[in-house]
Structure 1
Amino acid sequence: MFLFIHRTLFVRVIVLIAYTLVFCQFTVAQEYAESQVKAVLVTQFIKNITWPQNKSSDTYSVIVPYDDEMHSALASLEGERIKGKPLNVSNTKDLQAMHTAHLVYLSNVDSRQKRRLLERLRGKGVLVVTENSDTRYNVMVDIVTQTTDETNRGRISFQINLAQHSLRRLDH
């Protein structure tokens, strides 16, 4: 009798495990590169900004002049439609092209050059996104990466300078 109960219990456990393996879906957390997360943030910023009339076009133009990794991450989203318009990504360093862009992403650029570019883009209706900026002057959105303790993985957040949005003639 005791042996029969154990066999019955054993069979039930095996059937339960088999049922679980066959009918339950496994979910695996996917890891994303930091630049991919930032690229998605950029698309969310674009979705929530209204540009002045002189910025109306058939595409959303994004320029990433100094960061190849970030350019690649955004370029992987090129053609994605945001508010009905496709995303167009470039890595040009031409200031005139930056004036006509919707968004300029400034990272991996020294402080003096960043300040100069920020000053020249002021009032042009360009959303300027920086990374871990050392200045708040002329910065509209700053993506901040903080490395956590032992995992050495970053926590990404962002800061918005609302005063700069109105100075650059953008609505949010």
Structure 2
Amino acid sequence: MADYKQPITQTIILPHVPNKGGRPSKLGPEFINAAEVVLNDNNIILFTDYEVVDEINDKLEPQYRICKSTFEKWKAKAIRDEFDENDAFGPEFLRLIKKALRNQKRFLTMAIQTDSLWQRYAWIGERKFNDLNLKHVTQVDVTTNGESLNKLSDNDLDNELTKLLDK
């Protein structure tokens, strides 16, 4: 007869399955399809992230909609290329964001080259893309050792101007 008071000495080892925790991500095929439609539209060039999220959410059923902070987290993660290799939709979201930015630059470039009122497109480009912001480039002078002119005091600016005028 078996003694039921004996402790169990056999250990069962289960394979390690990481606990992702939290609810499942909404970054799935529904979101990707809606985002692709919105991000491929050149008319969103002046939209804020909040407005882009609204446009995407308008195309989704309520259970697939996201908030602005989720979009910003995904976008930052995509730009830094930090999606997990097991994430099926992260790389696709990264591709969509990068493609949308390239298309917006392409659109602005064509408009600057072909429109007689090209300045308005240059203005949009300078505000939308830091690498096109010529105002910052023109405010840095060799005499300031690369510091922005905005950081110099009035006396410093007067001294620098006097030096340049005396030359």
- If the length of structure 2 is used for normalisation, what is the TM-score? 0.26
- If the length of structure 1 is used for normalisation, what is the TM-score? 0.25
Larger relative helix fraction: 2
Larger relative strand fraction: 1
Higher relative contact order (Cα pairs below 8 Å, separated by 6+ residues): 1
Bigger radius of gyration: 2
